[in-house]
Structure formats: structure tokens, C-alpha cells
Structure 1
Amino acid sequence: MNRLPRLSIFARTFVMMFIALLVSVAIGYAVLNLRPPTQPNMVSLFELAAVLQPGRSPFAGHGPDGHGGMPPPGDAGAIPDGRMNPAGAPPAPPPQGEPPGMPQGPAFGSPGPGGTGDMDVTTSASAPTPPARFDAKVSSRMLMRLSALFNVPAERLRAYVPASALVSGPGPMGNVLGPGFVIALRQDDGSWRVASLAAEPFPTALQVQLAWLFALGLLVLLPLAWLFARALSAPIQRFAQAAQRLGSDTSAPPVPREGPREMRQAVDAFNAMQARINRLLQERTHMIGAIAHDLRTPLTRLSFRLDGLPSPLGEKVEGDIQEMKSMISAALDFIRDRSLGVHRELLDFRLLVESVADDMADVGHEVTLQDGSAITMHGDPLALRRAVVNLVENGLKYGERVRMRMRTTGAECVLEIDDDGPGIADAMQSQVFEPFFRLETSRNRDTGGIGLGLATVRAIILDHGGSIALRNRKDGGLRVALTLPLGQGL
């Protein structure tokens, strides 16, 4: 299906539904037309008479003329329940001992030594034992009917018939019995001839055939459905991955144009949006760079012209000029870092954090890292080191001591940085990540910074697909938690 990229999603869905409908119709056709015809597993009362009275016509009896008992079905002298019409003489038995119109076939064939169809005929010295389930009322009515049909006293008969075995009601051919009955006739020698038709086992042959046809339909449709779903979802999945990459790297390569027509249209719009974003970022970087360059020149001239100012006015002015230069430099660094993107490689993140702690400890700061195993991940080592350094320096400025812990949770790495500072109010914990935002009360304004440290850290962490959160500890101080994915899909 990947060789048909020009088909739209509508066309692909329609083709799949048409194929599924075609297979379903083919299965129904096979069930109704290709399977061998099934014969009803039923026995008529005339068949019972033939097998329970061997060597004797089911219509032979001890009628008034010495020949007849039961008239054939459909005769004028017969009444629906099979009894003789007392007003007329019974006609002669039909030719060949069979009633006219009697159904033929495997289930209603001529009686044989082993019974008729699936019926089981045996001879026993004693009366049959009643089965576990039968209907007493139905059995009693059937006993009277058989007594009249066989022209024998009811004492010589045993009938155990469940209600479910009574397939048809009274008619010219009498009742038709389904599976589950047991009927016996005592012979002249005292033995019992027993006819029974066991219920079909579960599953029946037809049910097994239907199950195989259903399984065959599933085997045909499931691969088609899998191919269809894969061909439809693969371009969407690649499109979603490209959108996720764009959130962390605007310089990622464009999404390839593939898939159905609607997906190619979405890819074209996405690639055009990515190009516009990159163009806007480049224009912003160039604009800020030009502004910074233009500002540095007059600031330098202003600094030379103010050299003759008396102290302390000259020192204050010089301090303001240097602060403006620092702000311009920090802004340029921030924009440059955001425009360069992230260059990822395989690294040991614990070793990187440990090197930061060692460097801080070498210059006299109290920075510790809890021992642990190596944590390997994909990332930009320079950017991640800058983020960790900013957080550690921020903790040292306000807390004088920093403790770090690292752990892995599933497919993520968590770095916790604790300090002993005053913490940050809950309402302001999300605002401190905004560029040029500085705390006025909870942290000392004189400790430096222009409000880009945490903004830079959050940008780096987001570029790596992670997250950063602040939380005030119960025993005092602030905890910064960095969460970074360990996978290679960053």
C-alpha cells in the first residue's frame, strides 16, 4: 500500500471497507452455497413403526377387515390424530408398505437392520431406563398416539420424549420427532425393541464449519487491516515526530513529502511554517546583534567623555555604563545560544555534573554530589554544563551551600539541586523563568544578574525534551529538579 501514495485517506478507507465487505459476502456465499447440504436429524412416526415392528407394515393391524389398522395419511378415512374413522372401513395398505407422500432421503429412508438415518435401534430384555430429561405430558400424548398407530396396547409401549424433540404438530403425516427421544415396543417374545435419537453433540458439524470459515475470514482480513492501518498511520506518526523535533530544534530537516494527498498537504504547510519560524529567528538575531553593536559604540564614547567627572559621580556613571554593557552581552549570548540549536552526543551526565561540583569545590565553594552509578544519555555537553553551572551558582549566591543528587526513573534522569537560601514564593516560581525577570523581595537584588540565568537554563532543558521545577523544602531552602529523557530520540 506504500506504493500507492497518490490515494487520499478517503480513497484508502473506501478501498479497505470494500475489501472487507467483499470478504464478508464471500464467506456468506460459501456458507450458503458451497457447503454440502445438511439433512435434518429428525424421525417420523412411520419410521418408528417400521423399525419397532420389523417385518410388518406400519399400517398392518387388526382392523375390522383383518388387514388394516392405520389408513395412509391423506386418506379420507383418516383423522388428524391417526385414529380410525369408525364410520368407514379402512382401505387396503399402500403399495410397498409405505404411506403415499412419505419423505425420502437419508433421514427418512427405508428402515434397515441398524435403524433409520441416525436413529439407534437396539433389542433389550428389559424395558428402557427413562433418560435424565423428558416431558411427562408430551411423553403421555406421544404414547397414546403410538398406541393407536401401532395398534397395540399402551402397556407394551414406553415413550420418553422431551418437549424440544416435538418438531411438528399433528398433520396428515403425524408428528416428526427431533433428537432426544427414547421409544420402546415390547415384542411378542417379551423382549423390548428400543429406538432412540441422541441429541447432536456440541459443536455440530455445521458449527465447526462456520467456525473455520470465520477463522479463515479473520486470517484474510487481519493482514489487510494491519497493512491498511500501517500505511495510514506511518505518515501521521512521522509527521508527529517532526512536530516534536521542531519544538526543540527549529533547524531540523523538513518533513519528507509522502503519504496520502491530505498528509502531503499538511506536510507542505508544516514545512512552510518551519521555514517562516527560522526566518523570524534569524531576523530577530540579526536585529538584536545590530542594536547591540550600535549601542556599544556610543557607550564607549560616553565612557571616555566621563573620565573627567569628579568622584563619586564619575564612579556611579561608570558603573551604570558597565551594567548596560553586561546586559547587552548577556542578551546577545542568550539569543546566540537559542539560535545555534542543540548538538547532541552520547555522554555521561553524572560525570558532567561531578566535574561542575569539583570545579566549584576547587575555588572554595561548598558543593557536593551524592555518589551513584553512571547515567548515559544523549545531549549537548556544553549546553547542559552551562545549565548546571547556572543553577549551582544561583544556589551559592543565595544559599552558600549546594547539595546535588541524581537518580534514574524508568527512561528519565532526575537531578535535584538543594540550597539553604530563603526559597521562592510559590506564586513567583513560574515567573522566575521569564527573561529579564528579577525577584525583589525573596532574593537579594544586589547579588547580581539581569534575569536571564534561569531563562537560559529552562531553554536548554526544554531543548533536550526535559522539564524543570522549583519547590521550597520543608527544612528550608530551595530544590530545583531537572528531568531529562535518556532515550536517543532527542
Structure 2
Amino acid sequence: MFRSLSARLFAILTVGLGAIQIVSFFGFIVFRGEEIKEQITRFLGADISFAYDFMRSLPREQRPEWLARLNQGFHYRFSLEPATGTIENVMPDDERLARLSAILKADLPPEAQLTFRLPPGVPASVRDKAIQTVLSIDDDERLVLHLFDPFSLPSEGALLGYLGVVLLAVTPFVWWAVRLATRPIDRMLGAVEQFGRNPNSPPVSESGPQELRQAARAVNAMRERILRHIEERTQILAAIAHDLQTPLTRLRLRAEALDGGAPREHIIRDVEYMAELVTEGLDYARSAHLTEKPSVIEVNQWLEGMVDDAQDAGATCRLAGQAAAPFSGALRALTRAMQNLIENALKFGSEAEIRIEDSADRLIIRVLDDGPGLDEALLQKVLDPFFRAELSRNRDTGGSGLGLSIARNIVRAHGGEIVLANRAGGGLQATVELPRRPPAR
């Protein structure tokens, strides 16, 4: 549930703030609760004194009308009753009632007779939640003050409501603070992921807190070492390819000078295959580190030209869909990638179809064939360098096992990806996904 760092920090801070609020609330109740209760009781005494004097100043018939306006409702209310019978004082030795009585009497005139009682039918065990204070207005009528739970702490519902309001108030700020703290990490992860797909992507920004700057410097140092390794590998392969081309050319010339026959043809074919391996190995190394500058590609004309080339060679190939806008990319490299995919489709199927699906954020090109397809376990492996599936896709059909790997490297250098999938009706589908904003190189 809380797998991301942002979610965990958000949960920790939210729970921590809730716990702090609960502890501080109860701490406030413990250390300042009595003082607050005394202040509230003093305000209550002033209200009672005013109500008592006001009721005494009114004629008896006007008292009920004005009494309704004096009721506060939430903590207490007033009522009138005839002054008949005696009032049994409730727990005169109760310390809390004694303190309450002293505070109330401080604001009342000396002639006021204040007593406490329980409502009729209420047992003494619940007196804390139902206390009545009775004041004699005159010989005929009494003023009754109904107190609602005067000695209790706030209810659980009130505490939960208070906590909920506090959390709702601070949650947006907590989330904003968490996102502000983790945004540099997200940017770093995005840059590292982009570098994994395209070595030519920009370095990680060395900004933010000190720990993140140190991590960014370490990642950038590793990035430079990897780039140097890729460049050295490309240079080594280029040197090997250059040095091998001369002896391979001499071998071919000497083989062609031999008398005709099967041995001569076998030697020539092996030399050609070795030369092809050398060339494709160099192309594979270069495909992971493109140096070609991007240009504006008219996608429709570009793919139509490749379809025409395939048809001129006698293959069945067609194009469906249209691109809404040009694409910015390395034209020669992307042409090599698409040619590899089209040749692969025509090699293992009788026909190929290219479908264009365009949108504002990405360009999708699908290459479909009607061949035998692939086992699900091989769909990812065939994209690995020098891997060739058995049976229908092996050396006898030609190829070095680098065509799809080169195509994937080129597409990844543009920030995209190649995905292989078997078609429902048979055959293979190669999907090229290219972002409309390729990474900077």
C-alpha cells in the first residue's frame, strides 16, 4: 500500500501529526483543564446572576416569554417551576459540587438560596450528567438551571471530529511538503531510467539537498564511465572491423582465383558471412551511441518509400494509416531500424504490412507479418544480440542475430521501445513506439 517513498513519508507525517494532536490535547486537558473549567463556571455564574436578577425584576406573567431568550441550549438551559415543597440537596459534601456552588454564589446576591438536586427519576449514579441548580425567585416561583454534564471531558465523537478537522486542514500542506522533498528524487530516477534507455540522454541535475547532490554526482560519474566504456568499445570494434576487412578482401580474391567447384563457393560464402558479421557487429556497437544529428522526417513519405522499395524487390508490402505531423529523429538510423523490421517480416512471412498510429505525444509504427510467429518465451530473447530462434529463424535463413538488436538500440536512442507480440490470427507484430519529443542528445 505504501510502496513509494512519497506515500510512506505522507503516512508517517500524517500519523505523527495526529498523534501529536491527541497527546497535546490530552496534555492540555490534564494541565489546564481545571483552570478552563473554572473560567467557564465563572462565566456561568455571571449568566445565572444576570438571569436571577432579571427574572426577579419582571412580573410573573412575563417571565416565561423572556426566559426562552436566556437559554443557551448547548451547555445549560433555564426553566421555571412553582415554589412548592422542599428541595433535597444532592451530595452537599461533594468537593466538585462545593467548588461549583462557591463560584456560582460569588455572583449571586446573599438572599439567593442555591441548592443542587437530581431531576425526578434520575439515580444518584448519573448525577454528573444531570445536575439541576435551583434558585428561589420569590415565595411563588423558582428558577431552575439545568446543567448538561458539567464535570465530563469531551466525548469520543468530539475528539474524533476535532482530530479529523485538524488532519483535513494539514493534509494538503503535508502532501505538498512531501512532494517538494521527493520531487528531486523523482527527477533523478527519471534521468537514470532515461539513461538506461538512451545513453545520449542529459546528465542528472545536481541540485536539491546535499545528499541528493552527492547521489547525483555519483550517478553522473558512473554515467561518464559507462559512456567512455561504450566509446572505447565502439572504437575497438571499428579498429577490428577495419583491420579484418583487408585480409577478408584478400581471402575473397584468392578464393575467386581458385578453380570452380564446391570448395571455392563454400570459401567465398564463408568469407562473405564473416564480412557481414564484422559489419553488423560494428553497426550494433554504433547503434547504442548515435552520433547522427536529428532532422525533420516526413513520416508518410519516408515509409511509403520503404514500401515501394520492398515492392520493387518483388515482395508484398503495404502501408496503412497516416502520420499527422513530421517526426524529429536520426533519419539514417531510423531507416536502418525499419528496414531490419520489414526484412525480418518478409523473411518469415509471405507479406508485410506497416500501420501508422499517430497522436500528440507519440508515434506508433507496427510491422506485421503472416509468418509462424514465435513462442512466448522467445519474444524478448530475440531482441538480444546474437540470439537466433531455432528452426525457422536460424543461420540457414541468413542473418547474424543482430538485426532486431540494432533496431531496438536505435529506437531506444530516440527514447522509444520495440515490443514484439504474436498476432491473434497468426504471425508476428513488431510495435515501434517513438515519443514525439525525443530525448536530447
Shared fold by TM > 0.5? yes
1:101 is displaced (CA, Å) by 9.1
Given residue 259 of structure 1, which amino acid in structure 2 is its aligned partner?
A: G
Match status 1:167 vs 2:128:
yes
SS at match of 2:128: coil
Match status 1:295 vs 2:244:
yes
- Structure 1 partner of 2:184: 235
Cα distance in 1 for partners of 2:113, 2:297 equals 86
SS at match of 1:167: helix
Match status 1:434 vs 2:434:
no
1:27-54 deviation line (CA, Å, top 9, x unaligned) = 98899599893227878xx99xx89x97
Q: Contact conserved, 1:350 with 1:375, CA < 8 A, in 2?
A: no
Select which of 400, 417, 426 maps to 1:450: 400
SS at match of 1:197: strand
Select which of 283, 291, 297 maps to 1:333: 283
1:442-469 deviation line (CA, Å, top 9, x unaligned) = 2474443222111112222333343333
Q: Contact conserved, 2:353 with 2:368, CA < 8 A, in 1?
A: yes
- Structure 1 partner of 2:374: 424
Aligned counterparts, 1:389-408, within 5 A? 389-407=339-357
The CA RMSD measured in Å over matched residues stands at: 5.4
- Structure 2 partner of 1:110: 108
SS at match of 2:289: helix
Cα distance in 2 for partners of 1:467, 1:107 equals 85
Aligned counterparts, 1:12-411, within 5 A? 37-39=39-41, 103-105=101-103, 109-110=107-108, 137-138=121-122, 166-167=127-128, 178=131, 195-197=144-146, 223=173, 225=174, 228-230=177-179, 232-312=181-261, 313-340=263-290, 349=299, 352-361=302-311, 363-372=313-322, 374=324, 379-407=329-357
Select which of 325, 344, 365 maps to 1:415: 365
1:374 is displaced (CA, Å) by 1.9
Q: Contact conserved, 2:366 with 2:430, CA < 8 A, in 1?
A: yes
Q: Contact conserved, 1:351 with 1:374, CA < 8 A, in 2?
A: no
SS at match of 1:39: helix
Given residue 108 of structure 2, which amino acid in structure 1 is its aligned partner?
A: S
Given residue 107 of structure 2, which amino acid in structure 1 is its aligned partner?
A: G
1:311 is displaced (CA, Å) by 0.4
1:114 is displaced (CA, Å) by 13
- Once the two structures are overlaid, the 10-residue window that deviates more, 446-455 or 348-357, is 348-357
Say if 1:480 and 1:101 are closer, same or farther in 2 by CA, change over 3 A.
closer
Gap runs ≥5 in structure 1 = 1-12, 56-60, 62-68, 74-78, 83-99, 117-133, 142-162, 169-176
Identity of aligned residues (%): 31
- Structure 2 partner of 1:145: none
Say if 1:339 and 1:187 are closer, same or farther in 2 by CA, change over 3 A.
closer
Cα distance in 2 for partners of 1:198, 1:320 equals 106
1:484 is displaced (CA, Å) by 3.7
SS at match of 1:339: coil
Given residue 466 of structure 1, which amino acid in structure 2 is its aligned partner?
A: G
Cα distance in 2 for partners of 1:293, 1:485 equals 35
Gap runs ≥5 in structure 2 = 1-11, 58-82
Say if 1:182 and 1:70 are closer, same or farther in 2 by CA, change over 3 A.
closer
Question: How many residues get paired?
Answer: 376
Q: Contact conserved, 2:382 with 2:388, CA < 8 A, in 1?
A: yes
1:478 is displaced (CA, Å) by 2.2
Cα distance in 2 for partners of 1:486, 1:40 equals 73
Cα distance in 1 for partners of 2:398, 2:388 equals 10
1:310 is displaced (CA, Å) by 0.6
SS at match of 2:121: helix
1:300-321 deviation line (CA, Å, top 9, x unaligned) = 2333334431102434323322
1:293 is displaced (CA, Å) by 1.7
- Structure 2 partner of 1:476: 426
Say if 1:106 and 1:365 are closer, same or farther in 2 by CA, change over 3 A.
farther
Cα distance in 2 for partners of 1:427, 1:80 equals 86
1:282 is displaced (CA, Å) by 1.6
Q: Contact conserved, 1:348 with 1:374, CA < 8 A, in 2?
A: no
1:106-138 deviation line (CA, Å, top 9, x unaligned) = 68631699999xxxxxxxxxxxxxxxxx97522
Cα distance in 1 for partners of 2:145, 2:100 equals 21
Q: Contact conserved, 2:323 with 2:358, CA < 8 A, in 1?
A: no
Given residue 308 of structure 1, which amino acid in structure 2 is its aligned partner?
A: A
